[in-house]
Structure 1
C-alpha cells in the first residue's frame, strides 16, 4: 500500500532553460555611473588611457541583460577620438 518504485529507468526532465534577462531600459540609458566614468575619462585623457572605464561600461551593459550583439554594435558605432 505504499508508493512503489519501479525498477525501470527513470527519466529526468532537463532543467528548464533560463530565459535571457530583459533589460529594464534602452541601451542609451543603461549603466549611467559607468557611462559617466567612461565619458569623463575620454574627455580628460587619451582614449587609450580609458580602457578600464570603457570595458567596465560594456560589462555593465551585458550584466543588465543586453545581448552581446547589441553591445558589439554599440562598440562598432563608437567613434574613436
Structure 2
C-alpha cells in the first residue's frame, strides 16, 4: 500500500473532519462580525441626508441625522 504506516491512517482520517468543523464554526460567526460592504458604500440614504444637513446648517444642527447614520452603520455591522 505505498509504504504508508497504518498508524497514520486514523489520524489522517480524523484531521479533515476536525478541520471541517472548525471552518464551519468560523463561517457561522463571520457574517455577524464582519460587514458585507465598505463603510463608504453603506447607508447611502442616511449619509446623503447627514451630509446635506451639515453643509447647509452646520454639524450642531444635524445631530438627528448624524445619529441616524451611525445607527444605520451599526446595523450593517460597523463598529462606530
TM over 0.5: yes
Residue 22 of structure 1: how far off its partner (Å): 3.1
The residue number in structure 1 matching 2:38 is 26
What stretches of structure 2 of length at least 5 have no aligned partner?
Answer: 1-27
Deviation (angstroms), 1:34: 0.4
CA RMSD of aligned residues (A): 1.8
Look up the match of 1:57.
69
- Which structure has the larger Rg over C-alpha atoms? 2
Instruction: List alignment gaps of at least 5 residues for structure 1.
Output: 1-17, 72-81
Higher helix share: 2
